[in-house]
Chain A
Amino acid sequence: MTGPEANPAEPDLRVARWAMWLPLGLFLSFVLLVVGGLLRPADHDVPSRMIGQPLPQFALRAAVPDRPGLARADLATGKPHLLNIFASWCIPCAVESPQIDALAGQGAEIDGIAIRDHSDDLAAYLARNGNPYSRIGADDVSAVQLAIGSSGVPETFVIDGKGVIRYQHIGDIRAEEIPAILAKLREAS
């Protein structure tokens, strides 16, 4: 009982020089992790995992009287298509509509799926914003939307000639994004 130095059975309480800094180092790396997470812009997109997968079987009734409905077979015609998921009640869709028109003007084949929409609301929307769609299917319970891994409106899918999903664009298409969409469409053909 003469002190820790004299007793060999007592554990050595002196801490190595580098180990003294260990708690501070751990704390600082934690702070770095948190600050990094706070500064990174939030990404709320939920991308579809169906890219590279064939479209599931579906057949939707016509959403408006002057365009036919949409089935899987209409998208696997040997020619790539754009599949626009939209709705008359969706404001970003209306914002996007000039770009959809422009894409159709540059030769893109565009089909639409209207999510949870009334026929007369949709007809008014198309009269107001233009109707570049070849076919528009009505998805009243989001069944096809869920089946292709889409989580909102608007979204635009590139479908190749065999009916395989090649690309997904989440959110409205901006004017500067048109060339990229056309490039994806060319890639799919």
Chain B
Amino acid sequence: MMKNYNKYTVILVSLIGFIFFVTSLNSSSETKEQKKTEPIKKKQKKAIEHIQVPPPPFSEDIFPCSECHEDMEVNKEKRILEDAHADLIGEEIVLKHDEENRWCLDCHDAKNRDKLHLADGRLVDFKESYRLCGQCHGPKLRDWKKGVHGKRTGSWNGQKKYLLCANCHNPHSPKFKKLKPMPAPVKLRSK
């Protein structure tokens, strides 16, 4: 009899324990949900400011384009330009950026010479040229907006400064150019 009694209490106690366990699980999941919503609210509060550091990297005296181009007739036929702007910037612009499929007027606007245009014809300022680049380089643009592609300076927890795509990549020849490295560390013992 005694043994039986013990058995029942064990079952009873474990049952009560189980109920407690389940309710505590529920309540903890509730608090978890509450916690989950909190950071989102915070997110809306702190919109980190971004400032563009250098302006678009125009060659000297080349902008505004309309200064020369306004009076010139537009030849919309796709062709390779000879000595393109060499007189202005000292060296010829050679397109090495999907040059098989594209040419000047695919990015530069033929009507408004001081703007770029998207594939659908919408005009884009040189200060927002990343919108144009992002048409083909979507994942890069996504990473750049998050601060993962390209360089961010300023403050890791506050105002950040950013560069345009064109500040690092020459839009006409975007591959990053090789650099001379700084000196190698000295060897402690020369053999």
A is bound by B:
no
B residues near A (Cβ < 8 Å) are none
A residues near B (Cβ < 8 Å) are none
